[in-house]
Amino acid sequence: MEINEIKEIWEKVEKEILNSIPESSHIWITMLEPVGFENDIFTLLSGQGMGIHMINQKYFNEVSNAFKKVLNREISFDIIFDEKLSKKMTEKIKKGRSELKAIDEKQKIVSNLSKLQSNSNLNLRFKFDNFVVGECNEFAYNLAKTVAEKPSEKYNPLFLYGGSGLGKTHLMQAIGQYILLKNPNNLKVKYTKTEDFINDFKKRFSKEGDDRKLMTQFRQKYFNVDVLLIDDIQLIENKKATIEEVFTLFDALYNKNKQIVITADRLPRELESLPDRLKTRFEMGVTVELLPPDIDTRINILKNLAKNDGINMSPDLLEYIAQTFSENVRELEGAYNKITAYSNMSKEPLSLNMAERLFASRYKKKKITIDDILKTVSEVYEVSKSDVLGTSRIAKVAMARKIIIYLARELTNESYLSIGEYFGGKTHSTIMYSYDKVKDEIKYNSKLAETVREIKQALKF
Ligand code: ADP
Ligand code: MG
């Protein structure tokens, strides 16, 4: 008989047998392999001597009856021990075990991670992986990654600064998580918000003054670490005692060559009430600014969020949200959450129209045009419109022209091509070049960055 037919018969017989014997014994049956059916003898192979014994002793009747039921006549069966099957089975069992072990390991890692997380106070949501890199944050990202890879070796302290919602906390926590995952057992990482540090510091005093036990606890928590991440250090301004403690902590860690990462909304030297000795220490390593995200980065952040949620957003919708929320990634995320939640609840598919309804009040009432930009920039740089639109190479004019191009791309929906037309037929690549030039320069020239920011503000009101 053909092997396929044999298998078909066995499938039915097997089902019958399994219905008639206890589940704990199913394993002896399911491991059998049908190989022949000649002269009313059905032959099966088994890799388990024990299984053959069990079937012949305990379930002989059940197996015989199953055959009878399926074939409508009585036949006999023969189970033969097979070496190859036996080996195969041992491997299968081994594999099963190692799979289990792998799962076990995974669970161990996860539980280790959550233990590490609770000690380090990190929020595991903030990773390098889900930080979208664009020109506005590339430099900061690279420095952060270097610190994460080589803590205490290169940039110490790393000082990240910039406006609210631009990714400082995210990058700082990503450093912590990366270090923990790479050195789970031998590096102590501690993330603290400055306000928590201040509170802990206050708590260490009891009514009678310094409390030894609390003091030891406090020191243990902050002084006994390999990597200290302090978020929003500007909050210690005007807090004299805390400032002193931060100073002591900084020196203690720094002298032991421990990595320190600090964030603030400003440069150290702009934290007015801090003593000079602390400001200079904060600037001893490297300081880097996080800038508001440019339009490409904003779109990429939205795309990334959508991708993680398996959501599809049309280009016009992405562009609309990215244009409406231009200064702050937290708000951009908020807008994304709002519109996706709305779409979920209302069962209405995402659309540009929906965004317009939800965000109308946020959308710049008056759409900014290149004309508006030209007017404002010309005023700031004290140049004439005709000079800017002409070919003058005077530095001031050239600068104003570049900034207009940059802002036109950032704040309007104009393409490089249409911006080029506005400037009397400049090519796509000329416009792109000017745009890139300003974008680059902003990263290194904080005065220019400030001017551009002010012009943007002026344009919005
Ligand atoms: P900050 O500390 O500068 O105020 P956060 O780090 O808290 O800002 O960032 C605000 C929110 O925006 C967070 O949810 C963060 O994950 C997100 N975010 C900021 N920058 C990025 C980025 N480049 N890519 C992805 N998410 C970002
Ligand atoms: Mg923050």
For residue 131, the ligand 1 atom closest to its alpha carbon is 24
- Residues 389 and 423 sit within 8 Å (Cβ to Cβ): yes
For the Cβ of 116 lying below 6 angstroms from any atom of ligand 1, the answer is no
- pLDDT for the residue numbered 80: 87
CA 341 – CA 81 distance, rounded (Å): 62
> Which ligand sits closest to the CA of 174?
1
Distance 146 CA to ligand 2 centre (A): 20
Sheet of strand 286-290, all strands in order from the earlier edge strand to the far edge: 189-193, 227-231, 259-264, 158-162, 286-290
Q: Which of 56, 176, 165, 60 shows the shortest CA–CA distance to 116?
A: 176
Q: What is the residue whose two structure tokens read 């920011």?
A: 453
Reduced to 3 states (helix: H, G, I; strand: E, B; else coil), residue 341 is helix
164 lines ligand 1 (CB under 6 A): yes
Q: What are phi and psi of 230, to 5 degrees?
A: -110, 120
Q: In this model, does residue 365 exceed pLDDT 60?
A: no
Does the Cβ of 167 fall within 6 Å of ligand 1?
Answer: yes
b or e along 147-168 (b: 16 or more beta carbons within 10 Å of the residue's beta carbon)?
bbeebbeebbbbbbbbeebbbb
Query: How many alpha carbons lie under 13 Å from residue 226 in its C-beta half-sphere?
Result: 18
Ligand 1: nearest atom to the Cα of 134: 23
Whole-structure pTM value: 0.63
301 in contact with ligand 1, CB cutoff 6 A: yes
Could you tell me the two tokens for 347? 């069962």
- CATH T-level fold of 3-81: GMP Synthetase; Chain A, domain 3 (3.30.300)
Q: Between these two residues, 87 and 435, which has the higher pLDDT value?
A: 435
Q: What are phi and psi of 35, to 5 degrees?
A: -130, -20
- Structural contact between residues 109 and 123, judged by C-beta atoms closer than 8 angstroms: no
370-460 topology per CATH: Chromosomal Replication Initiator Protein Dnaa; Chain: A; (1.10.1750)
User: Is 190 within 8 Å of 121 (Cβ atoms)?
Assistant: yes
What are the sequence ranges of the domains in the chain? 3-81, 108-289, 295-364, 370-460
Q: Which amino acid type is present at position 170?
A: H
User: What burial class does residue 297 get, using C-beta atoms within 10 Å of its C-beta: 0-12 exposed, 13-18 middle, 19+ buried?
Assistant: buried
CA–centroid distance, 236 to ligand 1, in Å, is 22
- pLDDT category of residue 27 using cuts at 50, 70 and 90: confident
The pLDDT of residue 111 is 61
Ligand nearest to the CA of 298: 1
User: Minimum mean pLDDT among 326-340, 360-374, 426-440: which range?
Assistant: 360-374
Q: Do domains 108-289 and 295-364 have the same CATH topology?
A: no
- What is the predicted pLDDT for the residue at 96? 63
Tell whether ligand 1 has an atom less than 6 A from the beta carbon of residue 193: no
Pocket test for ligand 1, best of 133, 170, 305 (most atoms within 8 A of CB): 170
At 336, list the tokens. 């994304």
Q: How far is the CA of 267 from the centre of ligand 2 (A)?
A: 15
Minimum-distance ligand to the CA of 163? 1
In this model, does residue 366 exceed pLDDT 70? no
Classified by CATH at the fold level, domain 108-289 comes out as Rossmann fold (3.40.50)
**How far is Cα 257 from Cα 264, in angstroms, rounded to an integer?**
22
> For 31-76, how does the pLDDT look when each residue is reduced to its tens digit (9 = 90+)?
899 988 988 899 999 888 778 888 888 899 999 999 999 999 999 9
Residue 288 phi, psi dihedral angles, 5° rounding: -145, 140
Return the ligand number nearest the Cα of 161. Answer: 1
Confirm or reject: Cβ of 131 under 6 Å from ligand 1.
yes
Closest atom of ligand 1 to 297 CA is 23
Mean pLDDT of the chain: 89
Cα(427) to centroid(ligand 2), Å: 41
Mean predicted confidence (pLDDT) in 265-275: 93
Per residue in 123-142, pLDDT (tens digit) is 988 999 999 999 889 999 99
Model pLDDT for residues 376-415, shown as the tens digit of each residue: 999 999 999 999 999 899 999 999 999 999 999 988 888 8
Per DSSP, what are the bridge partners of residue 37? 42
Q: For ligand 1, say whether the CB of 168 is within 6 Å of any of its atoms.
A: yes
CA 246 to ligand 2 centroid distance, Å: 19
For ligand 1, whether the C-beta of 166 sits within 6 Å is yes
Name the fold adopted by 295-364.
Answer: Helicase, Ruva Protein; domain 3 (1.10.8)
Q: What ligand is nearest to the CA atom of residue 164?
A: 1
- Cα of 169 from ligand 1 centre, angstroms: 7
CA 334 to chain centre: 16
- Terminal Cα-to-Cα distance of the chain (whole angstroms): 88
As a whole number of angstroms, the distance between CA 204 and CA 160 comes to: 29
Predicted confidence (pLDDT) at residue 107 exceeds the cutoff of 70: no
Write out the two tokens for 17: 């047998």
- Is the pLDDT at 354 greater than 70? The verdict is yes
> Ligand 2 centroid to 289 CA: how many Å?
13
How far are the Cα atoms of 211, 216, 222, 357, 424 from residue 121, in angstroms, in the given order?
A: 25, 19, 12, 40, 57
Q: What is the pLDDT of residues 323-341, one digit of tens each?
A: 899 889 999 999 999 999 9
In whole angstroms, how far apart are CA 48 and each of 20, 53, 88, 101? 21, 9, 11, 24
